[in-house]
Every structure is written in C-alpha cells, then in structure tokens.
A and B are shown apart, each in its own frame.
Chain A
Amino acid sequence: MNTLPVVSIKNLNHSFGEGQLCKQTLFNINLEIYPGEIVLMTGPSGSGKTTLLTLIGALRSIQEGSLKILDQELRGTGKNKLVKVRRDIGYIFQAHNLLKCLTARQNVQMSLELHSDLSRQETNDKIEGMLQAVGLGERMDYYPDSLSGGQKQRVAIARALVSQPKLVLADEPTAALDSKSGRDVVEIMRGLAKEQHSTILLVTHDNRILDIADRIIHMEDGYLAQDTSTAAATGVLSER
C-alpha cells in the first residue's frame, strides 16, 4: 500500500513498576494499521493488549521504541502535544463512562467542544445526525440513568465518532451487552467508520463479533503472536 499507516509501531517495549518490581509487559511490538482497516485485538487477560491500546491512544508515555499516530511520533512528545493527539482519536470504553449529569445530547457535545471551529447550527446538526444514526433520535435529551446498557453504549459511540476521528479505539465495547445489542453496536461502529473512512482498533474477548474485522491480531504474554486477515482466519471473504 502506498498510503501512510494510521498507526505505525516499531520495536515497542513497555514495563511497569520500578527497581525490583519492574515487570516487562510488551516485547518488541511491530505493527502497522492502514486507513479504513477494522482490526480486532484478541488475547487472554494479562496479554498486554490493554497496555498496547493505552499506548496507541496517547494515554501513556512511550518508554522504548517508536509509535507513530497519523505520522506523529509519540515517543518523547510533551504532555500538551499528547493531549492534542487525543483529540484526533475516538475512544469507546467497556463501561461507556458517560457523564451522568448531562443528557445524551450534551455528552456528545462534550466531544465536539474540543473542535471549536464549527458554528452553532453545524454543531447542533452534527450531534442530532449522529444520535439518529445510532438509533437514539427519540432519546436525545434523556439522562444516562434513563437509558439501557445498549443505549448508553450507543451514545458513547456517537460521542466517539461525532468529530470524525481518523482512529477509533474500542476496549471490549460489547462485554456488558447481550448478543443482539452487542451486534447492533459493532454494526453501527463499522457502518459509521466506513462512512467516515476511519480506522478501528477494537480489543475484545467476544467471539461473536470476529467477523466484522479485516484483520485479527492476537496477543499473548506481551508478544504479538498472530496477525491474520479475517479471510484467512475465518475462511470468509470480508467487504472492503
């Protein structure tokens, strides 16, 4: 491919703790993710996948190796720059983490406020459009208390995608949902991502959703054990 990778990792190592308690959690990670790809990361607990996700998401400092997001090297970048990088990434957590004191609409708006170059009308349109796209057009002014788990996760998706980030990171988004809601959630994510030409990196244990991926990465004991395209892994041609 001639296009620049969205995520480019070379020889990444990472450890936790100091001195005698120092434990290495990531060993020599090399990975490239290209625009528009939907990549799933699987692996047992303690395999280092969450650590890798936090490093890619500019939420932790890089200790050793190179990690570039949208061609921006994160190693050695100052705190302010890291914060700016985060604004170009959409985050979806297992525990949606919506602000309880704000409505669905306001939660989504919190994400747009970081990109202040839009007019009032444009902002409003984007928010309503996104909430409708996730199927919550009727509940825009509801508080999280009045929404089901699946609905809350959909608001979280709207919040993560409303500013059209180039990269979307999701950590077990379907873990707390039943199979129908879980399926809906990842279909919405995939649909919107394809529309916006975003890249998705999704960490999951959930076997039910493996088919949405273009690639599956398997982590084990801090090593990138396997990197297969879904076509090869599941024997099914995926849509591009």
Chain B
Amino acid sequence: MAKIPLSWAQLTHEKMRLVIALAGIGFADLLMFIQFGFRDALFESAVSFHAQLKGDIFITSPQSTALIAMKSFPQRRLYQALSFNGVTGISPVYLGFGLWRNPAPDKSNTRQLMVIGFDPANPIFEMPEVKDNLDKIKLSDVVLFDRASRPEFGPVAEYFNQGKPVQTEIDNRRVTVKGLFTLGASFGADGNIITSDLNFLRIFQSRRSRGLIDIGIVHLQPGTDVKAVVAKMRETLPQDVTIASKEEFIAVERKYWEESTAIGFIFTLGAAMGFIVGIVIVYQILYTDVNDHLPEYATLKAMGYKDGYFLSVVFQEALILAILGYLPGLGISVGLYGLARTATSLPMYMNLGKVVTVFTMTVIMCSVSGAIAVRKLQAADPADIF
C-alpha cells in the first residue's frame, strides 16, 4: 500500500478551512499580480512609441533623457550616417508637445498632446493607417489623430467616422484631421498627432527651426550586422550624438522610468504588501492546523515517528496550499487584466515572467509561513498524552 499522504488528508478533512486558506492565498496572489501588472503596463506604455518606430539605428542628443525631455540636435549627423556601409536610408523625426483644443462645440478645453513629424518620403511607422495616409499629411496643416487618446481631447474619432469635418487648433495653429491611427498614451502625453515635418514646423514655428530634429532613424540593408554598424558609427561620429540599436533605444527609455522615477518602487512596494498579507494568512491557517493536531502528532511521536516527519508534513501542506491557491489567483488576475485594459487603455497583459515570479513568491510565502508554524510542533510532547 502506498504511504499515507497525511498532509493531503489533513488539509482536505476540514473543507471550510481549506477553502479559506485558498481564498487567502488567491487574494494575496491577486494583489501581487495587479501590482506587477500595472507596473509592467506603465513601462510598456512608456516605450510603445519606440517599439512602433520602424528602423535599425537611432540617433539622439546625449542630453536627451526620455521622450518627455528630448533635446533637439542638428540633422547634419544623421546625413553623415548615409556614408556608412549597409545604410539604405534615413528618417529625421521631430517631436514636440502642443496644446490641442477640444473640437466639440460646447467644450473648448485644451490639453497637451505629442506631435510627431516626419518626412512622408521617409516614413517612420509600419502602421497601415499611417502608410495609407501619407499623401494626406503632405497637404498643408493636415494631421492624423490617435484614436487611443483620452476622451478629454474631444470626440475626434467619432466625428471623423461620421464623416464630419474635424477642424481645431494646436498651439493656436488651425489644423484639420484627415485620418486616424492607434498608438496609445505615454508618460509625456495621453494623446498623439502625426503629421509631416513641414506641418510640424508650421505649428512650432516660433520654437523650432528647420533641421533641428529629435530622433534620427537609420535604415540598414536587411541582414546587416546592426551591432557592427553601431560600433563603427560610435567610433567615427563625434561625441555630440548618441548612437543606439533599437533594443538599446527602448532599454534606455525603460530604464529611465524604472530607475529614476518612483513608479517601480511604488508598485514593488504594493506587491510586497500583498506578499506579507499572504504570509500572515497562510501562517494563521498552518498554525491553527498544527495546534489542532497536537494530540495526534504527540501520539505519532509516541509510536516512534521522528521529528523530521512532522516538519515534512507541515511543509508539504504549505506546498499543496501554494499550488492550489495560486491557480484561482492566476485565473482571476487574467480576467482583471482584461478589465483594467478596457478601463485604462494601458497594455496590461499576462506574460511568462509574471506567471513565474508570482508563483515563486507564492511558494516562498507559504514556505516562510510553514517555517514559522513548525515551531509550534515542539509543543507536541508524547509524555503529556498519558
């Protein structure tokens, strides 16, 4: 006969207590998943613009720290990149923040959004909705609007889809919306506009002169060793520009938000609190379990079971609770992520990283509780049951 699984038998004998324990663990896991989910979503959204850009090498000013704080630099360096082997083309990118006026007649509030300008002859986005409208933005004062912008910018997508003309102002410059695309909010602005470089300069004419760009994108022949070209450029071009591959470009932006702002700390702290809640709940359950079974354990000790046996029973219980409690927590979290996506437009998605991290933390959480609860085992003295 197989060895008796005492840990399983004990846990399942009191169904109510088991359900409460699993609910507690599931809740703690939910807390951790939500915190990590928001954290990851915020960081993802910070680099969604970067990820959408089409290109192999990205040139920026060394003084640029993040998308909200770009320093313009002369496009001369970008043109110099043309001379390198493997380069097939370049795309200068203008970035700016302007005040958009809500086109709804009963409201005319303004709100800051990001304006992205590029030369339609050298497009920077793969998005079909942008590619299809390249001719439109060649026209004077024509822009494309991000339908994922917040509602405070006005019912632009609604009007456009109804066929109504959408005319409004950015920084007091009259513009017309002739197309929609989807990009999403970043930390700098929760609305975006795409237009041509010339239109950009018209909007920002008082602040920006021609040729002062924010990002210089370099396109390479497919199959070229990107790292090698990056290295060559770093060697050859002067130090007044920063050269980066696409991964490095994204990583730098991500790092800015992860390390030099409070966001990472806030959500990690939140997750840690969920972890502590979990430890307390599981400890309560295991302690009560051990306490209730003390006479039985004392009997087993009298029969000749070693101390190590009881330790393993408690840890097995902790592990079973961890696994059984994790699964509903995971399931509910996936549902909650969907809800949060709809409510905040943030890219909250379950991924392998979070699944593994939270599972590991659940196992640690239950093991720590188990380790504290086993101290109670010492009270099981066989000599006292006579």
Contacts and interface: CB of A to CB of B under 8 A. Distances in A.
Contacts of A109: 1, 4
Contacts of B300: 99, 110
Contacts of A83: 304-306
Contact of A171 (B4, B12, B296, B386): B386
B13 interface: yes
A80 to B, nearest CB: 8
Contacts of B385: 93, 95, 97
B299 interface: yes
B17 to A, nearest CB: 12
Interface in B19-51: none
Nearest to B297: A99
A80 B308 CA distance: 11
B296 A113 contact: no
A114 B386 contact: no
Contacts of B103: none
A91 B13 contact: no
A123 interface: yes
Given A59-B383, A86-B304, A97-B296, A113 B3 contact: yes
B302 interface: yes
Given A100-B13, A101-B9, A123-B1, A60 B303 contact: no
A95 B306 CA distance: 22
A84 B304 contact: yes
A85 B382 CA distance: 14
Interface stretch (A20-28, A49-57, A194-202, A208-216): A49-57
Contact of B303 (A53, A102, A114, A123): A114
Interface string B280-314: 00000000000000011011101111100000000
Interface residues of A, number: 32
Contacts of B4: 102, 106, 109-110, 113
B168 interface: no
A169 to B, nearest CB: 9
Contacts of B306: 80, 83
Nearest to A90: B303
Given A50-B386, A97-B295, A97-B385, A57 B302 contact: yes
A67 B167 CA distance: 103
Contacts of A139: none
Interface size bracket, B side: 20 to 34
Contacts of A99: 6, 9, 296, 299-300
Nearest to A84: B304
A86 B302 contact: yes
A54 B13 contact: no
A111 interface: yes
A72 interface: no
Contacts of B383: 54, 59-60
A124 interface: yes
A87 B1 contact: no
Interface in A120-135: 120, 123-124
Contact of B1 (A84, A95, A101, A120): A120
B313 to A, nearest CB: 11
A97 B12 CA distance: 19
Interface of A: 50, 53-54, 57, 59-60, 80, 83-87, 89, 91, 93, 95, 97-102, 106, 109-111, 113-114, 120, 123-124, 171
23 contacts: A50-B386, A53-B386, A54-B382, A59-B386, A80-B306, A83-B305, A83-B306, A86-B302, A89-B304, A95-B295, A95-B385, A97-B295, A97-B298, A99-B6, A101-B12, A106-B4, A110-B4, A110-B300, A113-B3, A114-B304, A123-B1, A124-B1, A171-B386
Given A99-B300, A101-B6, 4 more contacts: A91-B299, A97-B296, A100-B296, A114-B305
